[in-house]
Structure formats: structure tokens, C-alpha cells
């Protein structure tokens, strides 16, 4: 059974950074900005603000239960169950691969039009001092190219630099799967400080006045736990994400979250 979180609600004067996307008697869906942790983490012990406590505030102070995770630097759609039974039902659906997640990412280079990345990954140990090698686990990601651009800026020795906007759909749920898979096919995500290219990250941070991971959760589809009807949730990328995508100009498709 899900365990209720130990977080206390944020102070009443604090502006809630979450944007409500959908609500019914069973579910609460929000947009999480980049930089906000979903819940308390042993790696970031000093942090005091979490999406979980802000979602609780939106839920009238009642407990909520996160159905999935988003890395701290990833923005986008985050869904909570409003009761333990719903959390249990949808948790099983997630483990069974019955939820389809969709992300947008801006990556270095021009990708193929579409593809399947079939590359097993090892789970990272929570404690980095643990040197025991983790076993390889199946990891699958589908991608589809939405747009390409080339800017007349020499970043890594070439006279111009190329980028793609891609739609990503993970079919498994390994830690940092999308970020590691895009690195594996030599198209790392812009702003990724762990698996990306430092010079490209620095260029965009300087050009736009902020550095961010160019990865956003934009869609989640699953069967509603009460009705069984297909529920398709969408969240448009936040302003800081769209600002960087301005380099695509007229080639950028509509990204309104519908």
C-alpha cells in the first residue's frame, strides 16, 4: 500500500509553482516546473520545497500519492492519485506497461525520422559509494523527429550547429532512461549536465540567460481506474522550454498540449 508523505504544507504566503491540468475524484494532474523535486531525496537533503507538498495544497491539504516520477530538471506532466486504492491500481498498471508516456526533447544533431532504441541499462546505485555492479535490464525508447534546425554558430569546431526536436515514448522505466538513450545514439539532450555535451549546454545557457534540461513530459495515456475509459492527459511545455525552442523558427510545430 502507498505510504503517505511526511511533508507539511507550504506556508500560505508561498505561491504554488504547480499548474493544475486535470482533477476528478480519483486523480490530480499538474505541470511541474523544471528545478522542483517531486519528493524528499537523500541526495538533496537541504531542499525544503517539493511538488508533493504543493500538490497536497491543491488537494485541500489532503494526502496525494505520486503515480510516477520526474527528475528534478525535467518539467511537465505529473499525476497524483487522491486515495490509496487508486494509487495501488494505477501503480500496477504502470508496472505492467499499461501507461503510455510522451516527452519532448531538444537534442544535438539531426536524428533519423524515427526509431527504436533497444539498449539495456544498469540501474544506478542510490549510494554512489556502492561499487557493486548492477545487472543490465531491458530498456526500450521510441522516438520520432518533429523538427530540425541549423544555426550559424561554431560550437564544436564545425561552422554551424544542428539540432532536432524529438518526441520520445519510453516503453520501460529505467533511471534516466531517455537521457542515457539519447546519449547512446549520439544525440544527447541539450542542458543535460550528466550525459550531454558541455559546450552546447554552455552556449544555450549564455544565449537565453538560463540553463535547463530540454526535456519535458507532455503526455500520459491510461485507462481511468474508475470508468475504464481511456484518459489522455496533455501538458504544454513551460515558457523557459519554449524560449529555447525559438531557434527552430517557422519549422517548430504547434505545441499547445492538445
pLDDT tens digits along 9-59? 454 446 899 999 999 999 999 999 999 999 766 565 566 678 999 999 999
The alpha carbon torsion through 7, 10, 12, 14 (nearest 10 deg) reads: -170
Between 49 and 230, name the one with better pLDDT: 230
* pLDDT tens-place string over residues 122-159: 987 444 555 556 789 999 999 999 999 999 999 988 89
Between 125 and 164, name the one with better pLDDT: 164
Q: What H or E segment, with its residue span, contains residue 55?
A: helix 51-58
- The fold of 19-251 is Pseudouridine synthase (3.30.2350)
pTM score, two decimals? 0.89
Mapping DSSP to helix (H, G, I), strand (E, B) and coil, where does residue 36 land? coil
What are the extents of the domains in the chain? 19-251
pLDDT at 50: 87
Give the C-alpha distances (Å, rounded to integers) separating 160 from 2, 106, 182.
50, 17, 21
The question of whether 71 is a catalytic residue gets the answer yes
Which one from 5, 25, 44, 71 is the annotated catalytic residue? Answer: 71
Specify whether the CB–CB gap between 97 and 171 falls below 8 A. yes
pLDDT at 2: 39
| Distance from C-alpha of 117 to C-alpha of 143, rounded to nearest angstrom | 8
Write the CB contacts of 119 (distance below 8 Å, at least 6 apart in sequence): 139, 180, 181, 184
Least trusted range by pLDDT, from 65-74, 212-221, 249-258: 249-258
Q: What is the 3-state secondary structure (H, E, C) of 161-204?
A: EEEEEEEEEECCCCCCHHHHHHHHCCCCECCCCCCCCHHHHHHH
Mapping DSSP to helix (H, G, I), strand (E, B) and coil, where does residue 115 land? strand
Amino acid at each position: 500500500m502507498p505510504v503517505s508523505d511526511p511533508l507539511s504544507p507550504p506556508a500560505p504566503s508561498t505561491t504554488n509553482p504547480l499548474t493544475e491540468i486535470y482533477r476528478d475524484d480519483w486523480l490530480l494532474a499538474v505541470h511541474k516546473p523544471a528545478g522542483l523535486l517531486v519528493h524528499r531525496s537523500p541526495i538533496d537533503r537541504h531542499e525544503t520545497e517539493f511538488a508533493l507538498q504543493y500538490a497536497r495544497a491543491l488537494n485541500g491539504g489532503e494526502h496525494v500519492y505520486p503515480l510516477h516520477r520526474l527528475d528534478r530538471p525535467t518539467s511537465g506532466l505529473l499525476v497524483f492519485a487522491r486515495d490509496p486504492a487508486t494509487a495501488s491500481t494505477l501503480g500496477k498498471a504502470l508496472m505492467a506497461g499499461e501507461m503510455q508516456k510522451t516527452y519532448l526533447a531538444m537534442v544535438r544533431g539531426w536524428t533519423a525520422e524515427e526509431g527504436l532504441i533497444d539498449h539495456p541499462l544498469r540501474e544506478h546505485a542510490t549510494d554512489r559509494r556502492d561499487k557493486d555492479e548492477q545487472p543490465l535490464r531491458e530498456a526500450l525508447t521510441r522516438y520520432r523527429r518533429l523538427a530540425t534546425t541549423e544555426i550559424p554558430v561554431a560550437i564544436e569546431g564545425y561552422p554551424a550547429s544542428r539540432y532536432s526536436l524529438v518526441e520520445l515514448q519510453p516503453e520501460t522505466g529505467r533511471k534516466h532512461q531517455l537521457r542515457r538513450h539519447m546519449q547512446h545514439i549520439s544525440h544527447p539532450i541539450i542542458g543535460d549536465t550528466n550525459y550531454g555535451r558541455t559546450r552546447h549546454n554552455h552556449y544555450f545557457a549564455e544565449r537565453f540567460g538560463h540553463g535547463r534540461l530540454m526535456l519535458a513530459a507532455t503526455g500520459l495515456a491510461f485507462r481511468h481506474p474508475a470508468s475504464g475509459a481511456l484518459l489522455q492527459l496533455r501538458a504544454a511545455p513551460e515558457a523557459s522550454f519554449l524560449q529555447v525552442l525559438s531557434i527552430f523558427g517557422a519549422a517548430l510545430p504547434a505545441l499547445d498540449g492538445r
